Structure 1
Amino acid sequence: MAEYQRIEYQIGKDGKITERVIDASGNSCLQPTQALEEALGEIESRELLPEYYEGEEILTTDNLQRSKSINN
């Protein structure tokens, strides 16, 4: 089954566009907006939300446990 993300756009009075990917984590936050960002031009700034880092702690802990067992 395909995984869906919702993308929210806000366009300010000054023309500044803000996008937010909802229901995604990790690199899947960046992929659905890549083509549109390239078409619009330069990205002024990017703020990664906490959802981007979800799962990173698990990988770090898992890798740490593996390296301890290899060293022992």
Structure 2
Amino acid sequence: MAEYQKIEYRIGKDGKITETVINGSGVSCTNATSGIEGALGEVESQELLPEYYEGEENATGTEQQSLKQK
């Protein structure tokens, strides 16, 4: 059975959106967010945390991205 991932979005006063994936690792983080990123706008910057590189066996990672609205 697939593990659930939580995606948290924070919208700053300047309109900048920060996206954080919780309970994900490896490409599952980027796959989980790719659809909504296309709808929200262009990815301005991306910070892959160490958990991203740990592989699928450890599902405790996070990923943060900043999105620029269309």
TM-score by length of 2: 0.74
1:32 alignment counterpart: 32
Residues 1:13 and 2:24 aligned together: no
Runs of 5+ consecutive residues of structure 2 not aligned to the other structure: 56-70
Aligned identity (percent) is 73
Q: Which secondary structure does the structure 2 equivalent of 1:30 belong to?
A: helix
Count, aligned residues: 55
> In the TM superposition, what whole-angstrom CA distance separates every residue of 1:27-63 from its partner, at most 9, and x where no partner exists?
00111111100111211101101111103xxxxxxxx
1:46 alignment counterpart: 46
Show structure 1 runs of 4+ deviating over 2 A: none
TM-score by length of 1: 0.72
Larger relative helix fraction: 1
Q: Distance in 1 between matches of 2:50 and 2:36?
A: 22
CA RMSD of the aligned region, Å? Answer: 0.9
Larger relative strand fraction: 2
Q: Distance in 1 between matches of 2:51 and 2:28?
A: 10
Runs of 5+ consecutive residues of structure 1 not aligned to the other structure: 56-72
Larger RCO: 1 or 2 (CA < 8 Å, sep 6+): 2
